[in-house]
Structure formats: structure tokens, C-alpha cells
Structure 1
Amino acid sequence: MTASAPLLVSGLSAIAPSYEGILCDVWGVLHNGVSAFEPAHQALSTFRKEAGGAVVLITNAPRPNAPIRDQLANLGVPLDAYDDIVTSGDVTRDLLSANAGATLLHIGPERDLPLYDDTGVILGSEDDATLISCTGMFNDETETPDDYRDQLEALAKRGLTMICANPDIVVERGDRLIWCAGALARLYEELGGTVSILGKPHTPIYKAATDRLAAVRGGPVDPKKILAVGDGLPTDIRGGVAQDLDVLFITGGIHAADFGAVDSPDETLIQQRLAEEGLHARAAVPRLVW
């Protein structure tokens, strides 16, 4: 792609012939937490069936991949849209297992507790914890990071490390933005705390995802034949660029308001924002379509 080539394309089909595998974000690309985006999962299905490519979904969800499969099915994303899933929870479990025996303070909703199954950590209280694991807010419908400021300040003063199982700052739920664990991790660092993060945009989750892609394809895939698809600049796009992968930027996700009309974004604004962030993309499209 030359510097003067248009960034905006009609859909995945415009660039699909260049790739053997896709690492695709989930929340914001395939669904909004309430309903699935049918053209998006149809695009991935077509890439698999007609282009012969493989698709690994790569998500900052703080749970192991099995519950995410169930969630996708319930939202209406069919199994033929992807070959495998790698979650931030999957790679975080490796770090938790490396800390087997530690007494851990869980910050997040009960639905995320399966993250700790068979890791060897001991769930404890704020008073006896030697390690923190954050998967999100206890109630992300009503709480904000400021509700946790006093607690996090006290924990930071004790020198406890926080393992952040979901690096996302916010996600869309329907037409609203919901705070995620990454917002608490950011605040914890601001308060002087130490944070370990393995999900996007960091290397461990991409290593796990490319390993899964290789397993599906029956051998390693040339990184230049892998396309990263996502809507989040600090996670999906920065992560793909850091791994030297081509990126398809979905502009109608969490940054939609920055680029003008959602379905007809201003390419100049997109280019400017990418440059400001020190990022680049192979192509951009408002929503994932074939």
C-alpha cells in the first residue's frame, strides 16, 4: 500500500487476498454487548469459506475462552465465523498459576471468578491479600474508577502488585460506554501501584493467538500474512502495530464520535488521529463487512 492510497475501503474483501489469517477483536467489532453485528460475523465466515483463511478471535475479556464462546453463541455469533478464541483471561491464568499459593484480592464481578479455577491462588480479603487481580468494577452499570480511589491508594501504599485481566479502559454496551479493568489499572499506576498486564496491546496475548492460528493452519503463518482487526486504538491497533502486523481499523467502534458521521467517517480525521497516536493502519472501514 502506497502512502497516497486511500485508507478507507469498502470492506474486508478489498484486502482479504493478501492474508491467510485474521486476529479479530470481539467487543466493538462482532457485537456491542447487547447484540451481534451480523455483517461482521458474515465477513469472517466468508473469509474462512471463500478465501480459505483462518480466524482467531482475540479479546481482552477477563474470563477463560469457554464462557466467551457461550456468550457469542447467545448473542448470535455463529461458530463458522471463527476457528478459535484467545482471551486476556487465558493468558492471565498463566501468570496467576505462576503465583500459586498467593492470597489474592479479587476486584470485579462474581461472573469472573472462573478465572481463578485451578490456578492455585487463594482468594482472600483486602486485609490479608498479597496480590491483587482486577477484572473490572463490581457493578459496571453504576460505578466509576473514582469509587475505588481510596481503596486503591491504600493497596498501592502496601506495595501490592495488581494483575489486570482486562486492559480495556472502556467498552460499548449498547449505546453507552462502560468502564473496564484497564481504567482501574491506570488509576492504580497513577497512585504509585505496580501493574502487570498481559492482554492487548501486550505481546503475550498475541503470542498465544498466533500459536492458535498456526495450529489451525497446520504450521506457522508468516506475520505479513496476518491481519489484525479492531476498533480500539490503545489496544487493538497499538497491539497489532507493535507486533508488526497489518491492521484493519474499525472506525465505528469506541472512537466513532471522533471521525464525523459513523457510517461515512472523514478519512483526514482518521489519518490525523493515527498520526497523533504514532500508529498506522493498512486500511479502515466504519464497520466490519465483507
Structure 2
Amino acid sequence: MRQHLVPPASIRHRRSRNLGLVGVGALALLALTGCKGDVAHGWLPYGATTGADRVSSLWVGMWIAAWAVGALVWGLIIYCMVRFRRRKGDVGLPEQLRYNVPIEVLYTIVPIMMVGVIFFFTERDQSALLDVSQKPDVTVNVVGKQWSWDFNYVEGQVWDSGVQAQLTGKEGVQNTLPTLVLPENQRVEFVLTARDVIHSFWVPAFQQKLDMIPGQVNRFQVTTRDRGTFQGKCAELCGAYHATMLFNVKVVSNEEYQAHLQRLRDAGQTGMLDNSLSRAGLEPGQKIEQQYVPNAKASN
């Protein structure tokens, strides 16, 4: 009678663990292939502004450096596991060393140098992305409020106001969101103010965001380059309905942009909406300081 050999429990456990790791790796690859983006840009969301190229370059460069360091560390670990493994005939523990000065200097100095390099490139790109020294073609005062957005088109002297999104789970909800309209191939400056608590203006396709702090005016500029409709949201936890603080950004031709401003004028939405601190519950007539006053004459 032929005898069937059953692998020991330790071998069966090792095989099941390896199969599990292979399964996790396969799922990870499937998830990555389903992401919007491509490997050249580190699978980041589509970049709809010229500044997005700078962001993706920094992102990919840091990942390359991280993988290189990881490969070196894992290579050294595996080398030590193989080179200094216990062999047949070994008795007791190997020779114990208290320290190795060259190695300790190496793993202290090299990480400091790596952090310095990362800091340099991050500061360089951050300074470029937050540079507002150039004169913008379009200025929009974005006002964050619980839980929606107001848009003051400064040069056009018109405004648009949004209300909290009602996420019903049905189709068509996106069409009810407040929509910020911008012209293509134009430098746009966002002047960010908050009406009540801290918010954060984030359009993932712009690959850039900035906090909106009550009593403080923050600015950044982007140069649009492609037409399309992109999603925006608040990226700072701002209360119970933070998840419904959504909006659209529509990049259109200059003719369509001017037509949009005219529609707002025809609707009587001229002047600038007040963007001062005005939480619900303020007493009638209570004086509040306006955060941002555009150079152009404004009326409320």
C-alpha cells in the first residue's frame, strides 16, 4: 500500500501564508490598475493645471527615492539573514559587538542628508505653487461656509452662491452643486476666506489645496489648461455635514466664461457678497469686520 506523506504543520502554515501574500499583492495590482492616472505621474489624479506637473514630478521623485532606500534596506536585511544564518555545528551565540562607529555615523548622517534634500525640493516647489506675485487674469474670492460655497468674481463684479448638497444617492445630484466657472489658459487667483470655521479649498484635479481660516486671507494661483468639469470639496473637517460641502469647477472657453458672467448680471447677482465672519446667531445689526475687500468697487 502506498503511503501518503503529509507535510508538517509548519510547512503547511508557511505555504498558506505565502499564498495569502500573493493574493494581497494581486489585489493591490488590480487596485492600482483601476486608479485614474498613469505610472508616469505616480497614479495621481488627472492634472488640469500647469502646476500639477510640478506636483507630480515631486511626488514621483520622492517615491523613486523611497523605493531605492527600501531596496537597499531589504537587501541588507536579506544579506544578513543568509550570510549570518545559523549553520550546522554552530554552538552558542555569535560574537557580540557593542558598536560600530563607521556604521553608526553612516546611518545617522545619510538620513539627515536625505531629509535635507527632500526639504529643499519641497520648499522649492511649494514656494513656486504659492507665488502670487504675477498679475492674475481672473480673480475669484471663494468664501467657505457651513456647508457650502460662495464665489465672488472680482473683475466681473458678479457673484454666485451655493447651498448645502443633498446627497440622495440618486443620479443628477452633481448638477445641483454650486459651480465655479473658470476660463481656460488663464492665470486664476483664488482669494480664500471663511465665514465661520476653518475650511479648506481643494480641487483634486488642480493637485493643490489651501486652508480657509476665519479672519485671515489666503491666496494661491493656478493656470488652467484643459476644458472640463472637475470635482471640488472641503478638505478640513468643519462640522457635522463636512462631507456634503461639495462643488464643481467648470473650465470653459473665454467666450463661455463671459457668457456665464452675463447670465449672473441678468439674474441681478451684481456686486460682491459679504465675506465677513457671520455665523448663524449673530445679533441683528452686529458689526463684523470684512475679511477681503477687492480693489474694484463692490456693492452688497
Quick check: TM above 0.5? no
Based on CA coordinates, which of the two structures has the bigger radius of gyration?
A: 2
TM-score grouping bracket, smaller chain normalisation: under 0.3
Bigger relative contact order (CA 8 A; separation at least 6): 1
TM-score by length of 2: 0.24
